[in-house]
Amino acid sequence: MNSDLSFLGLVLNASPLVQAVMAVLVLASIFSWAMIVDRSRVLKKARKEADRFEDDFWSGADLGELYRKIERQDDYFGLSAVFHAGFREYARLQESPGMDPNTVVEGARRAMRVAMSREMDEFENYLSHLATIGSTSPYVGLFGTVWGIMNAFHALGNVKQATLNLVAPGIAEALIATAMGLFAAIPAVVAYNRFANDVSRIENRFEDFVEEFSNILQRQAFLKQ
């Protein structure tokens, strides 16, 4: 049995199955970090967009002008998209003769909730993948460890006297699989918990806006009656 106890030596001298497990865990870690960077960027952009939009919305600007300003943008999303959907439906229903104000407001509210659901789906994208990597990677690494230890003890059957020098490299290379499993899982679990909390807070913020904007539209609808 090879006695090279360097990290690279242990990886290169591991059995093919253990090497395959390590390769899977490396790919999972790379995929996990790519998703972490992507979600960090998207959620940060959503928070900044919500701050900017709410500053414009509560500044007392004309809602029609704010709607047209958003419509001129090619990439509006987040809270702007929710407002855009609600005001567009409100304006469309207001043009219908004899429309009940409560019906108009309820239609706008439904449009906003549909838009909000789409935005939440986008924000929650990849979170299930992070949860899967975080929950399964330690077990994948443990499988590689068990297999490697089995091979190490199986090799002892061919020698007359077992020594620590003979079994140590095999056990060490097997334990690397567990370490790599934890390396892939821990960032994924931490990121999932953080992003899930961020999405929940954004969703609550959107919910509050839908209700506040619905109240504003209701007052306008009854004034135009």
The DSSP code for 73 is -
- If you ran DSSP here, which 8-state letter would residue 96 be given? S
Taking residues 155-180, report their average pLDDT.
71
pTM of the model: 0.83
Please name the amino acid found at residue 184: A
Average pLDDT over residues 76-94: 92
Integer Cα distance of 160 and 3 in angstroms: 18
Distance from CA of residue 112 to its chain's centroid?
23
Inter-residue contact 115 to 86 (CB < 8 Å): yes
Q: Please tell me what DSSP assigns to residue 92.
A: H
Residue 28 buriedness (CB in 10 A; 0-12 / 13-18 / 19+): buried
Tokens 């003769």 correspond to 97
pLDDT at 109: 95
Q: Which element (helix H / strand E) includes 83?
A: helix 79-94
Q: Is the pLDDT of residue 12 over 60?
A: yes
For range 186-215, the mean pLDDT: 95
Average pLDDT rounded to a whole number, residues 70-79: 86
Question: For position 160, what pLDDT does the model report?
Answer: 60
Mean pLDDT of the chain: 87
Share of the chain above pLDDT 70, in %: 87
Indicate the SS3 state at residue 161: coil
Alpha-carbon separation of residue 193 from 47, 160, 196, 198, 212 (angstroms): 17, 52, 5, 9, 29
Looking at residues 54-71, what average pLDDT do you find?
89
Q: What is the pLDDT of residue 151?
A: 75
CB 225 within 8 A of CB 95: no
Q: Give the domain ranges of the chain.
A: 11-143+174-223
pLDDT band of 162, cuts 50, 70, 90: low
Per-residue pLDDT at 159: 61
The more confident residue out of 175 and 12 is 175
Give pLDDT, residue 85.
Answer: 94
Alpha-carbon Rg of the chain, whole angstroms? Answer: 28
- Give one DSSP letter per residue of 108-171, joined into a string: HHHHHHHHHHHHHHHHTTTHHHHHHHHHHHHHHHHHHHHHHHHHHHHHHTTSSS--HHHHHHHH
Q: pLDDT-derived band of residue 152, with 50, 70 and 90 as boundaries? A: confident
DSSP assignment, residue 39? H
